[in-house]
């Protein structure tokens, strides 16, 4: 996609393949629409610069999602060693929440269950 010698249409097609196969935090259509709107590609008319901007945005979002999952996995390993075998419903919801960029620091903190909060 960064190869400016390729036709823009082919680069956009590659961007769509990347969304479909690797990172679509809102689902394919909504993620593609978000990128189009953010970079200003109106009516599907992309420029080479817009393709690069969209790719940069997508890569940045994917990096934050992967970092979040790595932090979450590290925390879960520690919790399992302490005998907490199941993540809380809040942890599961936070992990699956549809959002563009995730804050890896958030994954370091356990979302307490109702029982742990004393309201269940």
- Whole-prediction pTM: 0.85
* Spatial CA neighbour of 2 closest among 80, 40, 37, 54: 54
Nearest to 36 by CA among 21, 65, 17, 58: 58
Predicted local distance difference test score (pLDDT) of residue 1: 80
Is the separation of the CB atoms in 1 and 11 below 8 Å? yes
Give residue 118's pLDDT: 76
pLDDT in tens, the chain (120 residues): 889 999 999 999 999 999 999 999 999 999 999 999 999 998 889 999 999 999 999 999 999 999 999 999 999 999 999 998 889 888 998 888 899 999 999 999 888 877 777 765
HSE value, Cβ hemisphere, 13 Å, CA-based, for 36? 15
Q: Kindly give, in sequence order, each residue whose CB lies less than 8 Å from that of residue 5, ignoring residues fewer than 6 positions away.
A: none
């Amino acid at each position: 996609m960064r190869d400016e010698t390729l036709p823009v249409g082919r680069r956009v097609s590659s961007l769509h393949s990347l969304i479909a196969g690797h990172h679509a935090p809102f689902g394919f259509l909504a993620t593609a629409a978000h990128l189009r709107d953010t970079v200003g590609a109106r009516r599907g008319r992309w420029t080479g610069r817009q393709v690069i901007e969209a790719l940069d945005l997508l890569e940045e979002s994917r990096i934050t999602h992967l970092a979040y999952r790595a932090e979450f996995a590290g925390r879960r390993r520690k919790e399992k060693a302490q005998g907490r075998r199941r993540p809380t419903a809040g942890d599961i919801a936070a992990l699956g929440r549809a959002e563009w960029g995730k804050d890896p620091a958030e994954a370091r903190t356990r979302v307490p269950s109702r029982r742990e909060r004393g309201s269940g």
